[in-house]
Structure 1
Amino acid sequence: MTIASVDRTIQLITTGETVGSTCSPDLATAPWEFDSGTPGYGPGSSMGDVIPTGSPRQGELPERYRTAFTEELRASIRAAKETLGDRVLVLGHFYQRDEVLQHADFVGDSFQLAQAARSHPEAEAIVFCGVHFMAETADLLSGPEQAVILPNLAAGCSMADMADIDSVTECWEQLEDLYGTEPDADGRVPVIPVTYMNSSAALKGFCGEHGGIVCTSSNAETVLEWAFERGQRVLFFPDQHLGRNTAKAMGVSLEQMPMWNPRKPLGGSTAEELDDARVILWHGFCSVHRRFTVDQIATARIEHPGVRVIVHPECPMPVVDAADEYGSTDYIRKAIAAAPAGSTFAIGTEINLVQRLAAQHPEHTIFCLDPVVCPCSTMYRIHSGYLAWVLEGLVGTAERPAEVINRITVSADVAGHALVALERMLAAKPPASVVEPVETPVVAAPGVSRADTVVSAEA
Structure 2
Amino acid sequence: MKQTIRKLLNELDALLVAHFYQRDEIVEIADLSGDSLELARKASQSEKSKIIFCGVGFMGQSVKILAPQKRVFMPKIACCSMARMIDGSYFDKSITLLKSYGIAEIFPVTYINSNAEVKAKVAELGGVVCTSSNAAKILDFALKQNKKIFFLPDRCLGQNLAIQNGLKSAVLGVDSMEKIKEAEIICYDGFCSVHQLFTPQDIEFFREKFPNILIVVHPECQPEVVKMADFVGSTSQIIKFVQSLEESQKVAVGTEFNLVHRLRKPKKGQEQNTFVLSSTKPECPTMNETTLKDVLQCLEAIKQGESYNEILLELEIANRAKKALDKMLQLS
In structure 2, how many angstroms separate the alpha carbons of the residues matched to 1:329 and 1:173?
34
Larger RCO (CA under 8 A, 6+ residues apart): 1
In structure 2, how many angstroms separate the alpha carbons of the residues matched to 1:180 and 1:276?
10
Confirm or deny that 1:172 pairs with 2:98. no
- 1:218 corresponds, among 133, 138, 142, to 133
In structure 2, how many angstroms separate the alpha carbons of the residues matched to 1:273 and 1:318?
20
The Cα of 1:270 is off from its aligned counterpart by 3.8
Q: What is residue 152 of structure 2 aligned with on the other side?
A: 237
Query: Amino acid of the residue matched to residue 93 of structure 1?
Result: H
Deviations 1:273-316 (A, max 9, x none): 22212111111100110000111111111222211110000000
Confirm or deny that 1:152 pairs with 2:67. no
In structure 2, how many angstroms separate the alpha carbons of the residues matched to 1:360 and 1:411?
48
Query: Amino acid of the residue matched to residue 341 of structure 1?
Result: E
The Cα of 1:269 is off from its aligned counterpart by 4.1
SS of residue in 2 equivalent to 1:341: coil
Rate the CA distance shift 1:428–1:79 in 2: closer, same or farther, 3 A: closer
Rate the CA distance shift 1:361–1:279 in 2: closer, same or farther, 3 A: farther
Maintained 8 Å contact 1:221/1:247? no
- Which structure 2 segments of 5+ residues have no match? none
- 2:57 corresponds, among 106, 111, 132, to 132
Query: Amino acid of the residue matched to residue 383 of structure 1?
Result: T
SS of residue in 2 equivalent to 1:205: helix
Confirm or deny that 1:302 pairs with 2:228. no
Query: Amino acid of the residue matched to residue 159 of structure 1?
Result: M
Deviations 1:54-87 (A, max 9, x none): xxxxxxxxxxxxxxxxxxx334323322433xx1
Q: What is residue 403 of structure 1 aligned with on the other side?
A: 306
In structure 1, how many angstroms separate the alpha carbons of the residues matched to 2:266 and 2:41?
25
The Cα of 1:371 is off from its aligned counterpart by 3.5
Deviations 1:124-153 (A, max 9, x none): 210000000000001011142x11011112
In structure 2, how many angstroms separate the alpha carbons of the residues matched to 1:240 and 1:246?
10
In structure 2, how many angstroms separate the alpha carbons of the residues matched to 1:141 and 1:367?
36
Q: What is residue 368 of structure 1 aligned with on the other side?
A: 276
Rate the CA distance shift 1:92–1:360 in 2: closer, same or farther, 3 A: farther
Q: What is residue 74 of structure 1 aligned with on the other side?
A: 2
Q: What is residue 181 of structure 2 aligned with on the other side?
A: 275
Query: Amino acid of the residue matched to residue 158 of structure 1?
Result: S
The Cα of 1:268 is off from its aligned counterpart by 4.4
Rate the CA distance shift 1:301–1:230 in 2: closer, same or farther, 3 A: same
Q: What is residue 413 of structure 1 aligned with on the other side?
A: 316
Query: Amino acid of the residue matched to residue 302 of structure 1?
Result: E
Q: What is residue 386 of structure 1 aligned with on the other side?
A: 294
Q: What is residue 66 of structure 1 aligned with on the other side?
A: none
In structure 2, how many angstroms separate the alpha carbons of the residues matched to 1:285 and 1:143?
29
Rate the CA distance shift 1:211–1:370 in 2: closer, same or farther, 3 A: same
In structure 1, how many angstroms separate the alpha carbons of the residues matched to 2:192 and 2:103?
32
Q: TM-score, normalised by structure 2?
A: 0.94
List, as ranges, runs of 4+ consecutive aligned residues in structure 1 with deviation greater than 4 Å.
360-364
In structure 1, how many angstroms separate the alpha carbons of the residues matched to 2:285 and 2:307?
25
Query: Amino acid of the residue matched to residue 287 of structure 2?
Result: M
How many pairs are equivalent? 330
Q: What is residue 318 of structure 1 aligned with on the other side?
A: 224
In structure 2, how many angstroms separate the alpha carbons of the residues matched to 1:287 and 1:388?
29
Rate the CA distance shift 1:360–1:215 in 2: closer, same or farther, 3 A: farther
The Cα of 1:178 is off from its aligned counterpart by 3.1
Q: What is residue 247 of structure 1 aligned with on the other side?
A: 162
Deviations 1:149-180 (A, max 9, x none): 11112x10110111111011111122234336
Rate the CA distance shift 1:80–1:293 in 2: closer, same or farther, 3 A: same
Query: Amino acid of the residue matched to residue 171 of structure 2?
Result: M
Query: Amino acid of the residue matched to residue 329 of structure 2?
Result: L
Maintained 8 Å contact 1:245/1:320? yes
Confirm or deny that 1:112 pairs with 2:38. yes
**Identity value in percent:** 36
C-alpha RMSD of matched pairs (Å): 1.8
